Amino acid sequence: MNILQQPWPWYVAGPLIGLTVPVLLLLGNKAFGISSSLRHICAACLPASIPFFSYDWKKEIWNLFFVAGIFGGAALAWFVFHHQPGAVDPRLVADLQHYGINSHSSFIPKEVFSWKELLTPRGAIMTIGGGFLVGFGTRYAGGCTSGHSIMGLSNLQWPSLVATICFMVGGFIMANLILPFILNL
């Protein structure tokens, strides 16, 4: 049980995540990705004549069970191991304090993620604007980071390489240029 109470090193967790791809391919020629599950849910719940949602979503129901397993695993980890404090890098704590975020004992600082903060310009930009951009980018790129960066790269797909490079460049620009501006609002 002790091994479950600590973060796993990248050289263990990374290969385990990477092995998901060949296992899914071998078990039924299934492609790994999370964002497609939202499309399956919409196709199941909104029986409209929208062409994007007009397909046999039941063939992809395994994906919904996969996502349910992710939520179930996260809930189990929260309820079983929630008392385990996480380590936040002291450099990140110092950077966040520069922006007035002092909740360094939590991975979810209340100065950024709270109902009160949602009603501020900074909260609206980060939550609503960020959610829109993630959704738009996922649809525009034809998949999410897990689909492109794990599944697509392992299949040597050129569009996935381009998407992954764009994800990384966008993340660097956001973290180093745009986020400091938003946090100063």
pLDDT one-digit tens code per residue, 22-55: 888 888 888 877 888 888 888 888 777 788 888 8
Q: Is residue 44 part of a domain?
A: yes
Mean pLDDT (the chain) is 83
3-state helix vs strand vs coil in the chain, percent to 5:
70, 0, 30
**pLDDT tens readout for residues 52-90:** 888 888 888 888 898 899 899 888 887 887 656 566 778
At residue 117, φ and ψ (nearest 5 deg) are: -70, -30
Give a yes or no: residue 133 inside a domain.
no
Cα separation, 16 vs 29, whole angstroms: 19
Residue 180 in any domain: the answer is: no
Question: For the range 132-139, what are the long-range contacts, defined as Cβ-Cβ under 8 Å and sequence gap of 24 or more?
Answer: 137/170, 138/35
Domain-embedded: residue 35: yes
104 or 27: which carries more pLDDT confidence? 27
Residue 72 lies in a domain: yes
Residue 154 has pLDDT above 80, yes or no: yes
Residue 176 resides in a domain:
no
Q: What is this structure's pTM? A: 0.71
**Domains in the chain: how many in total?**
1
Q: Is residue 165 part of a domain?
A: no
Q: Which residue has the tokens 């296992």?
A: 23
Its domain, for residue 28, covers: 1-84
